[in-house]
Structure 1
Amino acid sequence: EKEKLGDFVFFVTGNRTLSSEPIKIEINNLDSNRLPVGHTCAFLLEIPGTYPDQETFNKKLEKAINDGSDMQIA
């Protein structure tokens, strides 16, 4: 679980550790086929609010984090 939390923080912030800047969450009306998006410059997690249930949200977030796990910060 600790590794998953670190992956989440990296996905949203681009850092492996938390900073004093809060992580912001924006829920919008985008298509439920879209994955959540981490905006690392703004420490923002953008989530489609149209997922039909918690399980779908969990799977989409996990996929987004895993797909972005090889991301490099320049």
Structure 2
Amino acid sequence: MIESGFVGQHRSEIAGSQPELSPKDSHRVVESLTLLRMATFSISHLTEAETPVDPQLEHQLHFRGFDHNDLLEGRMARSL
């Protein structure tokens, strides 16, 4: 419908969709996930090299998801 230019149908096609993230917030999601990915791979490489990683530090660096009680973080989680 949208691709065909039926402007009158736009509202029904996007009903219920969430507002998009701003470019700044989208960048924040990518940067956060990239940082956490790098930490995860670093811990994995250190473990393989038999270099101990403090379990508490490893736990703190483990991504447990975005906080859905926070409006912005909830929107970030839904954007994934």
- TM-score bracket, shorter-length normalisation: under 0.3
TM-score, normalisation: structure 1: 0.27
Higher CA-based Rg: 2
TM-score, normalisation: structure 2: 0.25
Structure with greater proportional helix content: 2
Structure with greater proportional strand content: 1
